């Protein structure tokens, strides 16, 4: 047999095999063997899937102390703070209708202990302070600062609200200092939806979340019941 007679059929078989593999076999690589030896960075903390926790166990819940209200009025808003939970109890924006100054309320006192705006809760029995002390209240050229401090056996919490004369925003600086450095605490911040008393029943509240590509995403409130975000850069309600 001549060498040419051997190479021609061999070349033809290789071409047919290549065409068959290209058109009739999966192009996705089989990673079953590679998965066993694939390297990864182990997380420093455990991430466990769990339902959202709305429960709060207040420390000193059997104690009774007089409630103290701090009212701040700026050219743009009227805010009322309470030392019970160091919460923003009510908030109203100034507006002018027909030349008259009126207020549009967005947060109203709920009267329920665990439903205050910007209430901070910690996990564990008797872990969340409820009675706070007013440690600072001062007015500057353009800002007003209201600060509270609360303690439990678990941690010390400091809240500092900053209000601006030329803006409708309120900044909250939150400091949580664990009493035991060996056991980390996981604070939860409660944000209630605005109570727009001037709207009708057809207005629908929506949640606003920042996405990874820095755009904003709007979701209905029912879609937020079980939604979690790790380290959100921006969130709010519309």
pLDDT in tens, 175-200: 999 988 777 788 888 887 666 555 55
The helix/strand/coil state of 163 is: strand
Q: Which two tokens stand for residue 231?
A: 């380290």
Q: Note the Cα 221 to chain centre separation in Å.
A: 14
Question: Which residues have C-beta within 8 Å of that of residue 131, sequence separation ≥ 6?
Answer: 60, 63, 65, 83, 84, 150
pLDDT in tens, 15-58: 555 544 555 555 555 554 444 445 455 555 555 555 667 778 88
Averaged pLDDT of the chain: 76
Give CA–CA dist 1/127, Å, rounded. 91
Cα end-to-end distance, the chain, whole Å = 85
Per-residue model confidence (pLDDT) at position 163: 96
Q: Where are the domains of the chain?
A: 58-195, 204-238
12 phi, psi to nearest 5 deg: -65, -40
* Residue 217 binned pLDDT confidence (cut-offs 50, 70, 90): confident
Give CA–CA dist 82/28, Å, rounded. 61
């Amino acid at each position: 047999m001549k060498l040419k007679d051997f190479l021609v059929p061999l070349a033809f078989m290789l071409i047919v095999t290549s065409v068959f593999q290209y058109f009739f076999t999966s192009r996705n690589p089989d990673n079953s063997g590679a998965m066993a030896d694939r390297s990864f960075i182990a997380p420093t903390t455990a991430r466990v899937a769990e339902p959202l926790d709305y429960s709060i166990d207040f420390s000193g819940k059997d104690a009774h102390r007089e409630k103290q209200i701090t009212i701040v009025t700026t050219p743009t808003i009227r805010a009322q703070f309470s030392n019970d939970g160091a919460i923003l109890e009510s908030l109203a924006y100034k507006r002018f209708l027909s030349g008259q100054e009126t207020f549009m309320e967005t947060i109203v006192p709920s009267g329920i202990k665990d439903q205050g705006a910007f209430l901070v809760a910690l996990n564990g029995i008797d872990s969340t302070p409820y009675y706070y002390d007013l440690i600072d209240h001062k007015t500057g050229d353009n800002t007003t600062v209201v600060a509270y401090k609360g303690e439990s056996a678990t941690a010390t919490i400091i809240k500092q609200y900053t209000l601006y004369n030329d803006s409708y925003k309120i900044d909250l600086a939150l400091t949580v200092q664990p009493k035991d450095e060996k056991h980390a605490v996981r604070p939860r911040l409660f944000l209630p939806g605005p109570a727009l008393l001037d709207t009708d029943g057809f207005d629908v509240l929506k949640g606003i979340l920042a996405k990874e590509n820095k755009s904003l995403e709007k979701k209905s409130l029912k879609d937020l019941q079980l939604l979690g975000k790790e380290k959100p850069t921006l969130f709010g309600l519309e």
